[in-house]
């Protein structure tokens, strides 16, 4: 075949694309399990971080299995409907309303034998999704820790939600005040919410991201009201 012809060029390109495409597909499939494992490990690390537990390098899985003593899936009525909390797609469930919504709960037992209830949250920031985990004390009301992450918020502004300066504000805040449930509000620094709910200062210069965190907490924690209330009443 004439290597200078158009036909040869087209055939060469097609063969090259097929070979490269096959190689890429094979590589992707062969790495899928490892990629999923890394994603699961990072998720475990984030869950533990919300309860102020920092695993040593290479010990995330062991520490997760050590400290997370139970997993539950509950509904809006506070009823336990399953135990596969880790497999629940929180992003998808955040758009579901009513009792059909699946609400994951991770029950943690710390090194000093304190019980924590860790709840996942998911929402939207300025440039993309934001998510995190909020850990409650055994009273079902007091927040003992929180972890937040984002996909593409602006460094130095909205991205500050993942820094200790922001998330540490949640420690000690309560969602039940005078018998009424209120997710923690996120407000502009120096301002206060209209009600008596607990609040934290939003990120300076990250107004939209801060509002996104507030909306995320409202949307994702409110469905747990009856579940947390049952824990609170048992105390």
In a domain, 126, yes or no: yes
For residue 39, being part of any structural domain is answered with no
- Helix or strand (DSSP H, E) at 210: helix 207-221
* Mean predicted lDDT score pLDDT of the chain: 91
- Check: CB of residue 80 under 8 Å from CB of residue 103: no
More confident residue, 50 or 25: 50
Cα separation of 166 and 202, whole Å?
Answer: 8
The residue segments making up the domain with residue 108 are 67-234
pLDDT of res. 195:
80
User: Is-contact 110 51, C-beta < 8 A?
Assistant: yes
Q: Is 200 helix (H, G, I), strand (E, B) or coil?
A: strand
The residues pairing with 174 across neighbouring beta strands, listed in sequence order, are: 142
* Each residue's pLDDT tens digit, 124-177: 999 999 999 999 999 999 999 999 999 999 999 999 999 999 999 999 999 998
Model confidence at 11: pLDDT above 80: no
For residue 137, is it within any domain? yes
- How far, in Å, CA of 85 to CA of 99, rounded? 16
Percentage of the chain beyond pLDDT 90 is 74
Give the residue from 116, 135, 155, 161 showing the smallest Cα distance to 221: 135
Return the pLDDT at 212: 97
Report if residue 33 sits inside a domain.
no
Residue 7 lies in a domain: no
Residues contacting 122, CB < 8 A, separation 6+: 90, 91, 94, 129, 130, 131, 216, 220
Number of folded domains in the chain?
A: 1
Between β-strands 185-187 and 199-201, what pairing exists: parallel, antiparallel or unpaired?
parallel
Q: Is the pTM of this model over 0.75?
A: yes
């Amino acid at each position: 075949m004439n290597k200078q012809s158009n036909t040869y060029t087209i055939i060469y390109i097609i063969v090259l694309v097929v070979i490269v495409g096959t190689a890429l597909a094979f590589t992707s499939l062969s790495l899928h399990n490892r990629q999923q494992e890394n994603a699961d490990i990072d998720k475990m690390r984030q869950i533990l971080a919300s309860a102020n537990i920092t695993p040593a390098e290479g010990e995330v899985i062991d520490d997760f299995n050590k400290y997370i003593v139970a997993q539950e899936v509950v509904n809006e009525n506070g009823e336990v409907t399953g135990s596969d909390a880790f497999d629940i797609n929180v992003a998808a469930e955040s758009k579901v309303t009513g009792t059909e919504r699946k609400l994951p709960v991770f029950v943690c037992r710390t090194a000093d034998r304190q019980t924590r209830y860790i709840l996942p949250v998911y929402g939207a920031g300025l440039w993309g999704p934001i998510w995190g985990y909020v850990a409650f004390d055994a009273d079902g009301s007091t927040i003992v820790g929180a972890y937040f992450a984002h996909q593409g918020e602006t460094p130095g502004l909205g991205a500050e939600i993942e820094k200790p300066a922001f998330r540490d504000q949640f420690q000690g805040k309560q969602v039940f005040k005078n018998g009424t449930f209120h997710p923690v509000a996120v407000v502009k620094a120096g301002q206060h919410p209209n009600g008596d709910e607990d609040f934290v200062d939003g990120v300076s210069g990250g107004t939209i991201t801060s509002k996104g965190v507030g909306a995320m907490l409202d949307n994702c924690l409110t469905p747990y009201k009856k579940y947390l209330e049952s824990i609170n009443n048992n105390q």
